[in-house]
Structure formats: C-alpha cells, structure tokens
Amino acid sequence: MSLSREVAIVGVDESDRIGIVPDHTPIDMLAEAVRNALNDAGVAPSEVDGLFTAGAAPMASVLVGEYLGIQPRVTDSTMTGGSSFVIHIEHAAAAIHAGLCEVAVIAHGETGYSNRARGMRRAFDSWLPQGQFETPYGLMAPAPAYAMAAVRHMHQYGTSSEQLAEIAVATRKWAMLNPKAMMRDPLTIDDVLASRWISYPFHLLDCCLVTDAGGAAVVTSAARARSTRKKPVWVLGTGEAHTHQMISQMPDFTWTAARQSGERAFAMAGVGREEIDLCEIYDSFTYTVLVTLESLGFCGPGEGGAFVSGQRTAPGGELPVNTSGGGLSYTHPGMFGIFTIIEAVRQLRGECGQRQVPDARIALVNGTGGTLSATGTAILAVD
C-alpha cells in the first residue's frame, strides 16, 4: 500500500508574531497558527477532525483540542522532539487514507526564548537512563551531544570547521531574503569561526536560535483538497525512524535515522535525489544539516563537507537548503520541524518573493529530534 498522493497539505502559517513574543504562551502561539493555517486553506475550524501536536504539555493533543474547541476523531500527541511534526504528516496521511479522519491539523507553539526570561528550565528525572548515565557528566542539553557527533565526523572524514560554517553562511543568505527572519545581517565564514565557543567544535553561529513561535499545517484528502483555497501540495512520500534516545546510545555518530526515513520516503515517492528542487532540513546545528544530507543520500558517507562547500546550498546554489533561513537564522522556538513544512509548502506554491526557488516542484523536508535520535522525512510536490 502506498500513501503517495493520497493526501495534500492545503494550509500553512506561523503565529501572528514570531521571534521574541514575551506576552504569549506556547498555546497562544499554537492557536494563532492553527487559525491562520485554516484561513490559508479556506477550511472551517468545524471541519477539523484530526489533531496532531507534541510537546505543549503532557497529553498535548487533548489540551490543544480543549483550547481550540476541537473534538477530533483522530488524536495524536506523538512526541519525537523536533521531528514530531514531520512524522505527524505520515500519521495524518495514514489516518486520512484509512478514512479515520479527513481534515487533520498539525500544530506547534513554543516559547523557548521567553521561557528563559520566565526562569523555566527543562526538568530531568535522575532515575531515567539519561539522568543516571549522562546528566551527571554535564550532558543534558543538545549542544554538547551534537558537538560530539560532529567531532567524530571530523575525525573520521576530515570534515572542517570551515565546512560547517559554509552551512551557517548559506542559511543566513536565505534569511536575508525573508522578512520574517530574526537574523538578517550578512555573515561570513570568518564571522562564524570568530564567534564564541559553545561546545567544541560548535561556535555560537553553528547553533540555532532560541525564539518564540507557533506554526501549523492543514492536511486533507485528495478529494477535499480539490476545493480548498490554494493549490494542493501533494504528499508523495514519507518515512519515520529512530535509532536511540541519548547520544551515548547512538549507533554511529556519522549517520542518522534519516537513512531509514529518507530511503522509505524516496521509495514511496518514486523520485530520485536529483529531482529534489529544494530541501528544508532541521538545522539545530550546522552539523545536523551536513549529516542529514549524507544520510538522505544527497552525497556519500563522509562527503558532506565537500558537498556543502562553495555555498552549494545558498541562494543560486545547486541545491537550495533551508530557504526560510532555517533554525539558524529565521526562527527556532525549540522544536523546528513544523517550520520545515511551512516553508516547503510556500516554496512549492511560489509564494516566497525574493527567496523563491525558480520552478520549485518537488521539495524534501526532514525533521530531527532528540540528540540526532528520531527523524521524519516527507517529499512534497505540486502538479
């Protein structure tokens, strides 16, 4: 059975404001984004019968349903970190294909920036595996975990800090073309290398932003998609996978579960890597993009450094990546996955103004969650 072209994404949007929004809670931002995405689709709130969200609270979809006055037939709080919302595309497609629901909303809101100001800190349980075997060694945040993965790649393959910086620079060039992006000043490789250390080999500018933002997408059946406001963006292929939760359990630091989720998505979509017009790849860190491009098969193992060199992923480059400016320069409230979907849909519809990729027909989105743990891949297209 294939889910290819069974469903379409027909509405996407962010919350009214993104960036630093101290007067909003995560649920506020999520709610605005859902309303805006439904408006974008031209679909009434009363039609929503599938609800997919993660992370806003325990029982996230139940809380969000209550908050938005939605009593869904399909509910899904699958929480795989930043990849959750891309994985939700596959779950929504399966549910719609099976006739369990017809209009699914995938939604997220998070206030990573303002949480800091509010003194909110992620709690950890000292009896869980990570609490016992990683946290006591100072491994309780993403940066050092992803940093160790990058160090191993550099050791095995000779990948350089300059090559990682290529990704930050290319992403900033896209952000400079996006009025909604937080960081829009020009950036050079030297700027990245001169920024302060966070966790070797990551400088500050190898790391994503921490912002406040909400985002949402509306997914529906092929039949319903015929009468929505804008042209449908078809889901050609999807895949999901995870290999571990904490970094010390990662099978190999130089590839991710995007190998599995990507392979399945490409097989379902029936397209080749060379047919992809643009990629939206969760860029929690520069290395995340490099290792994901390799894992998805855009280049061979260890070739990512050379692949991203010469600004290949920048505007005008051979493979546009993170055309919104990504988590590195546009926005990143904590779990970026939903924003990869929003930007891919806008590109495929031709709505991106200065940053529009010419003749974009097929896009790949890939979310990564945890510590390079869980990935979701989706391949999207317009007719």
Partner 1 sequence: MADYHKPLPTPIPDTQPFWDAARRHELLVPFCLDCQRHFFYPRRLCPHCLGERIEWRKASGRGRVYSFTVQYRAAHPAFAADVPFVSAVVELDEGVRLATNLVDVEPDPAKLRCDMPVEVVFDDVTPEVTLPKFRPVAEVER
| Residue number, 156 or 354, with CB nearest to partner 1 | 156
| Residue number, 81 or 320, with CB nearest to partner 1 | 81
Residue ranges that bind partner 1, judged by CB under 8 A: 124-127, 129, 131-141, 143-144, 147-149, 151-152, 155-156, 196-201, 246-249, 253
Burial 340-361 (b: 16+ CB within 10 A, else e): bbbbbbbbbbeebeebbbeebb
| Closest by CA position to 275, among listed 361, 343, 194, 354 | 361
H-type alpha helices, the chain: 26-41, 60-68, 84-97, 112-117, 129-133, 142-157, 161-175, 189-194, 222-225, 258-269, 286-295, 304-308, 337-349
CB of 166 to partner 1, least distance (A): 20
Measured CA to CA, the distance from residue 34 to residue 69 in angstroms comes to 12
Contact 200, 151 (CB under 8 A): yes
| Residue number, 57 or 143, with CB nearest to partner 1 | 143
Torsion angle defined by CA atoms of residues 15, 280, 142 and 194, in that order, rounded to the nearest 10 degrees? -100
Contact 289, 308 (CB under 8 A): yes
CB of 282 to partner 1, least distance (A): 20
Measured CA to CA, the distance from residue 187 to residue 196 in angstroms comes to 15
Q: Which of 113, 146, 282, 287 is catalytic?
A: 282
Burial 97-108 (b: 16+ CB within 10 A, else e): eeeebbbbbbbb
The three-state secondary structure class of 28 is helix
CB of 136 to partner 1, least distance (A): 6
Q: What angle do CA 213, 218, 222 make, to 5 degrees?
A: 160
Catalytic residue status for 67: no
CB of 112 to partner 1, least distance (A): 14
| Residue number, 144 or 304, with CB nearest to partner 1 | 144
CB of 133 to partner 1, least distance (A): 5
Measured CA to CA, the distance from residue 339 to residue 332 in angstroms comes to 9
Catalytic residue status for 282: yes
| Residue number, 99 or 119, with CB nearest to partner 1 | 119
Measured CA to CA, the distance from residue 277 to residue 20 in angstroms comes to 32
| Residue number, 161 or 292, with CB nearest to partner 1 | 161
CB of 204 to partner 1, least distance (A): 9
| Closest by CA position to 180, among listed 354, 372, 304 | 354
- Residues annotated as catalytic are 282, 330
